[in-house]
Amino acid sequence: MHLLLLSAFISSFLKINEGSASDWCYQSQDPCGSRCKGPENWKDSVNGHVCAGKSQSPINIVTKRTLFDDLLTPLKFEGYQNAFNSRMVNNGHSVKVDVATSATISGGNLSSVYKAVQFHLHWGKDGGPGSEHTVDGEQYPMELHIVHMKQHYASLGDALKDPTGVAVLGFFYEESPSANKNYEPFIKALSDVKVTGTNTTIHIQSLSSLLPSPKNLTSYFRYKGSLTTPGCAESVVWTVFEHPILLSADQLKAFSEVKFKDGKPMVDTFRLVTLSLCAPDQLKAFSARAHARCTAARERRGPGQRRAPGRLRLGSPRTVVAQLDEEEREGGGEGRGEGGAAIS
Ligand SMILES: *[C@@H]1O[C@H](CO)[C@@H](O)[C@H](O)[C@H]1NC(C)=O
Ligand SMILES: *[C@@H]1O[C@H](CO)[C@@H](O)[C@H](O)[C@H]1NC(C)=O
Ligand SMILES: *[C@@H]1O[C@H](CO)[C@@H](O)[C@H](O)[C@H]1NC(C)=O
């Protein structure tokens, strides 16, 4: 009898703990008011202690601190042209689509062939700043993550135990005056998954059709990081592409019509660069680390050239990131790195 009670007690205890894993939320969900675990408390969720780890994503990519590396050749995409039918799911944190075809990436100094498992997005509010990674402190309106795992793994759970088990491709979005026709079915499907827990069938013409043109896929940033949601596993080889995907303002806004579990608009679904959790004296350490961990495969720009103007969105709420840049300047880093002196 006592034993029974004890095991009932233990299992309910475990349930509560399991429950807390799904209880995580973004800052925009008012973690204090709705008593869900906001980003600052993700470390308290099951296995979430990793969320306070040393190689957390996203990061701010300081372009003048990135190093060109000839090993970062263009990725080889296979099966990215395949059409497939799948389900778009509102999982309460994002909209997610499982990749129901064989699509793989290799090359670009990846240590193995990785197969695509699912993709999902992170966005702001009505097309405002919403990407997870930032470039020189600035945030794009949205970011696509195509999650891959090493080909021999049967589940993402297994792959996450391998320090390089998962490879995520990150793509920024940028507002464009014209609509992106390739995204019409995707945008239309959003209205069928407004409610958390619902799903709808979706026909994906091809993964490629959702990405920038092939010639715009040769410039990317590479670093070793983590998942950007709990449990934040540090098993991710990140490839963040420089060139954004273009969507119209209306297309970007359509994402804000999706709803969180409580019926409020699903907006600002991004984790701030982890240094927002750092004390000021940790900022330097972070910037050094971000520098050391970032390498890039980009076209070399001659001295005196600036990055294309108007590409990046100003007025991002990420003031902490701007602080990082101050720290960097104070750190005497000016002029270090390839062509660094040209960009300021
Ligand atoms: C290339 O891969 C090797 C082995 O995985 C790794 O040690 C090295 O850091 C990688 N280089 C770049 C530029 O990513
Ligand atoms: C989609 O919704 C249906 C009906 O609620 C459910 O039975 C099914 O498991 C869901 N599929 C996915 C992939 O979430
Ligand atoms: C490729 O990138 C360049 C430079 O950012 C841009 O001008 C061009 O429109 C892009 N092309 C496509 C198809 O995305």
Please indicate whether residue 17, judged by its CB atom, sits closer than 6 Å to ligand 1.
no
Average pLDDT over residues 257-280: 79
Predicted confidence band at 274 (pLDDT cuts at 50, 70, 90)? low
Q: Is 184 helix (H, G, I), strand (E, B) or coil?
A: helix
pLDDT in tens, 257-266: 999 999 999 9
Main-chain phi, psi angles of 194, to 5 degrees: -60, -35
Task: Answer whether residue 145 shows pLDDT above 80.
Answer: yes
Residues 6+ apart with CB under 8 A from 135: 60, 61, 63, 172, 242, 312
Measure 109 CA to ligand 1 centroid, in angstroms. Answer: 6
pLDDT in tens, 25-83: 999 998 888 888 998 889 887 777 889 888 999 999 888 888 889 999 999 999 999 99
Main-chain phi, psi angles of 247, to 5 degrees: -135, 155
Write the residue with the smallest CA distance to atom 3 of ligand 1: 109
What are the C-alpha distances in Å from 167 to residues 67, 112, 303?
Answer: 20, 10, 33
* Pick from 268, 248, 245: nearest CA to 256: 268
**Residue 88 in contact with residue 189, Cβ under 8 Å?**
yes
pLDDT in tens, 240-261: 999 999 999 999 999 999 999 9
Write the residue with the smallest CA distance to atom 1 of ligand 2: 199
Please indicate whether residue 212, judged by its CB atom, sits closer than 6 Å to ligand 3.
yes
Return the ligand 1 atom nearest residue 164 CA. Answer: 5
**Residue 182 in contact with residue 83, Cβ under 8 Å?**
no
User: What are the beta bridge partners of residue 143?
Assistant: 122, 172
Measured CA to CA, the distance from residue 68 to residue 337 in angstroms comes to 9
Q: What is the pLDDT of residue 178?
A: 97
The predicted model scores a pTM of 0.80
DSSP 8-state symbol, 73: P
DSSP 8-state symbol, 339: T
Average pLDDT over residues 147-155: 98
58 prior amide bond cis, ω within 30: yes
Predicted confidence band at 22 (pLDDT cuts at 50, 70, 90)? low
User: What are the beta bridge partners of residue 76?
Assistant: 106
Task: Answer whether residue 319 shows pLDDT above 60.
Answer: no
Q: Is 115 helix (H, G, I), strand (E, B) or coil?
A: strand
What rounded mean pLDDT belongs to the chain? 79
The number of angstroms, rounded, from the C-alpha of 100 to the middle of its chain's C-alpha atoms is 21
Please indicate whether residue 118, judged by its CB atom, sits closer than 6 Å to ligand 2.
no
Which region, left, alpha or beta, applies to residue 136 given φ > 0 means left and ψ of -120 to 50 means alpha? Answer: left
Average pLDDT over residues 337-342: 25
Average pLDDT over residues 185-211: 98
To the query of whether residue 203 is one of the catalytic residues in this protein, the response is: no
Nearest ligand atom owner, CA of 85: 2
